[in-house]
C-alpha cells in the first residue's frame, strides 16, 4: 500500500498496475500491482511473453501494480480514457510469444484447486461455508471484524499491505511488495498504529506471494481464511488495505469473474526487465476499488473471511488508478503457498516447455519448444496448435497457461493438437520449472 504520497500513472499503455511497493519498469501493457506506498507505479506485468507461458492477444491491456513514490505530485484527477474492448481484459499478452515455462506448481493450482496445507497449517485459520447476501448496514460490522488482521508493510522502496497469519507475527503479502527490500528495510504497521521490524521468511515470485515475520510481537489477530472455490460471480466482497498510504481503508464491490489469467513480472523481473514476464492464472476479478498500496491486502467475503489477496489492477491509457477491474490471488492458492513458505518448504511449479501464441482459428499455437522439455519429450513441435489439455478445451494461449499452472509436477496429461490439418494426441509428463 502506498504511503500518503500521491502516485503517478504507471505507463503509457493500457494495463494493470501492481499493488505492491516499488517502481516497476515501463513498457508493458497495463496490468499492474496496486503498489507501494508513496511511489509512482509502473507496470508490474509486462506485455511481453519472453520466457513465460502467458499467452494473449497483441495490444491487449496488461496488469499494472499501482504504487506511489515520495515527493511526486498527485494529479487532481485521472484523465479519461476509452475503456478496453470487452473480452480483452483477460488477454494480457503483448505482441510477443508466451513462453510456457509454466511454473506454478505442486499444490499451486489455478482457479479451482483448493489444497489444504499438510500437517501444521502455519497458523492459518480456514473455514468453508457459503457467504450470506448482506445489506449496506452490515458492512461496518464485517469491516470491523477484519481490520485488525490487515497491516501496512513499508520498505525502503515503497509500501503495500499484508494479512496477519499468526498471533506471533507471520504476515502474508505480495512478493512484489517486498522483492526489492534490503535486509532490514521491511516494517509492519498494525491497525493500532504500532509497528515492528520484519524479516522476509520466504518468497515465491511465480505466484507473487511472500511471507514476512514481524519481530517481538504477540497477541495479534490472525485473519480467518475462507474457501475461494465457494465464491460465485456476483458475490459481495470487501477490499481492505492501505491505498495511497491510507491505512485501514475499506472498499466494497462484487466478485466480477473467476479464473482470470494475466501477464506479470516478478519483483526481480520488474527490477530487471530483461528477465521477461510471467503469467498468473486462476485469479479472482473484482470491481471493489483497489489502488496503489492495496497490494497484499485482503479481499473478504460477507462473513469477514479472506478469500483473496489483492495483487493487480487493470488501467486504461496512462492512468494507474482504479477503473473497476482488480485481481486477487484466491485464498486457497495463497494458503497453500503461505504454509510452504512458513515451513521453509520449496514451492514447485509445473512446466510444459513451449512458447505459444493465440492461433487464428482457436487454440494455442506453439511458437517454440524448449529442448529437453516435457513438450519435446512428448513429440510436440513448432507449428502445432494445442486444442485440448487433459479435459480442458484450449481456445487461446491463456487457456493453456491456466491449464498447465493448475497441474502438478509429475502429472501425466493427454494433449490434443492439430498438425498439418490432422488431429493427434500426445501424453506429456509435466516437469518442474527451473
Give the Cα separation of 41 and 73 in Å (integer): 13
For 75, counting Cβ atoms within 10 Å of its Cβ (0-12 exposed, 13-18 middle, 19+ buried), the class is middle
Would you call 295 a catalytic residue per the annotation? yes
Q: Give me the residues paired with residue 65 across strands.
A: none
**Helix, strand, coil shares, percent, the chain, to 5:** 15, 30, 55
Q: Which of 31, 69, 176, 349 is catalytic?
A: 176
Give the Cα separation of 300 and 334 in Å (integer): 13
Please spell the DSSP secondary structure of 29-52, one letter per residue. -S-B-B--TT-B---SS-S--TTS
* Among the listed residues 351, 337, 322, the one whose alpha carbon sits nearest the alpha carbon of residue 413: 351
Would you call 138 a catalytic residue per the annotation? no
Give the Cα separation of 280 and 264 in Å (integer): 7
Task: Give the DSSP H/E element, type plus range, for residue 98.
Answer: strand 98-100
What number of helices (H) and strands (E) belong to the chain?
A: 6, 24
* DSSP 8-state symbol, 24: -
Measured over the CA atoms of residue 315, residue 321, residue 327 and residue 329, the dihedral's sign is positive
Q: Which of 3, 157, 208, 399 is catalytic?
A: 208
Residue with C-alpha cell 510477443? 96
Question: First vs last Cα of the chain: how many Å apart?
Answer: 31
Would you call 22 a catalytic residue per the annotation? no
Strands 224-225 and 236-241: unpaired
Measured over the CA atoms of residue 353, residue 358, residue 361 and residue 362, the dihedral's sign is positive
User: The C-alpha cell of 66 is what?
Assistant: 499501482
Q: Which of 242, 266, 278, 295 is catalytic?
A: 295
Give the Cα separation of 212 and 171 in Å (integer): 5
Contact 303, 226 (CB under 8 A): yes
User: The C-alpha cell of 320 is what?
Assistant: 494507474
Residue 391 Cα to chain centre, angstroms? 25
* DSSP 8-state symbol, 410: T
Please spell the DSSP secondary structure of 179-226, one letter per residue. TT--TT-EEEE-TTS-EEEEEEEEEETTTTEEEEEETT--S--PPEE-
Residues annotated as part of the active site: 176, 208, 295
Amino acid at each position: 500500500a502506498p504511503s500518503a504520497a500521491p502516485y503517478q500513472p504507471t505507463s503509457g499503455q493500457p494495463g494493470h498496475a501492481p499493488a505492491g511497493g516499488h517502481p516497476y519498469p515501463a513498457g508493458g501493457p497495463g496490468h499492474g500491482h496496486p503498489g507501494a506506498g508513496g511511489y509512482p507505479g509502473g507496470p508490474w506485468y509486462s506485455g511481453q511473453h519472453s520466457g513465460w507461458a502467458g499467452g494473449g492477444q497483441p495490444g491487449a491491456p496488461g496488469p499494472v501494480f499501482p504504487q506511489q513514490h515520495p515527493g511526486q505530485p498527485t494529479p487532481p484527477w485521472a484523465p479519461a480514457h476509452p475503456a478496453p474492448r470487452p473480452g480483452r481484459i483477460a488477454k494480457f499478452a503483448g505482441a510477443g510469444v508466451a513462453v510456457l515455462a509454466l511454473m506454478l506448481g505442486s499444490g499451486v493450482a489455478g482457479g479451482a484447486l483448493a489444497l489444504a496445507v499438510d500437517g501444521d497449517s502455519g497458523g492459518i485459520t480456514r473455514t468453508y461455508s457459503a457467504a450470506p447476501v448482506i445489506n449496506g448496514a452490515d458492512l461496518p460490522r464485517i469491516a470491523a471484524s477484519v481490520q485488525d488482521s490487515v497491516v501496512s508493510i513499508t520498505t525502503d522502496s515503497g509500501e503495500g499491505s499484508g494479512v496477519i497469519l499468526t498471533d506471533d507475527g507471520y504476515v502474508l503479502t505480495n512478493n512484489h511488495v517486498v522483492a526489492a527490500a534490503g535486509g532490514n528495510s521491511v516494517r509492519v504497521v498494525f491497525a493500532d498504529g504500532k509497528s515492528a521490524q520484519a524479516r522476509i521468511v520466504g518468497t515465491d515470485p511465480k505466484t507473487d506471494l511472500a511471507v514476512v515475520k514481524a519481530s517481538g510481537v504477540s497477541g495479534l489477530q490472525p485473519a480467518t481464511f475462507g474457501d475461494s472455490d465457494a465464491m460465485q460471480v456476483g458475490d459481495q466482497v470487501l477490499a481492505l488495505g492501505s491505498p495511497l498510504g491510507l491505512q485501514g481503508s475499506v472498499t466494497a464491490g462484487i466478485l466480477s469473474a473467476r479464473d482470470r489469467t494475466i501477464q506479470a513480472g516478478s519483483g526481480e523481473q520488474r527490477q530487471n526487465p530483461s528477465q521477461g514476464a510471467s503469467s498468473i492464472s486462476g485469479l479472482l476479478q473484482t470491481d471493489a476499488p483497489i489502488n496503489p498500496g492495496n497490494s497484499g491486502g485482503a479481499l473478504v467475503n460477507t462473513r469477514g473471511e479472506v478469500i483473496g489477496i489483492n495483487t493487480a489492477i487493470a488501467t486504461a491509457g496512462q492512468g494507474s488508478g482504479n477503473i473497476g477491474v482488480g485481481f486477487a490471488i484466491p485464498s486457497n492458492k495463497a494458503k497453500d503457498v503461505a504454509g510452504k513458505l512458513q515451513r521453509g518448504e520449496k514451492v514447485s511449479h509445473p512446466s510444459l516447455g513451449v512458447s505459444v501464441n493465440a492461433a487464428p482459428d482457436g487454440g494455442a499455437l506453439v511458437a517454440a519448444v524448449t529442448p529437453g522439455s516435457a513438450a519435446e519429450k512428448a513429440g510436440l513441435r513448432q507449428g502445432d496448435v494445442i486444442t485440448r489439455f487433459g479435459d480442458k478445451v484450449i481456445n487461446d494461449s491463456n487457456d493453456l497457461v491456466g491449464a498447465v499452472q493448475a497441474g502438478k509436477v509429475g502429472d501425466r496429461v493427454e494433449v490434443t493438437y492439430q498438425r498439418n490439418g490432422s488431429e493427434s494426441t500426445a501424453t506429456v509428463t509435466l516437469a518442474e520449472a527451473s
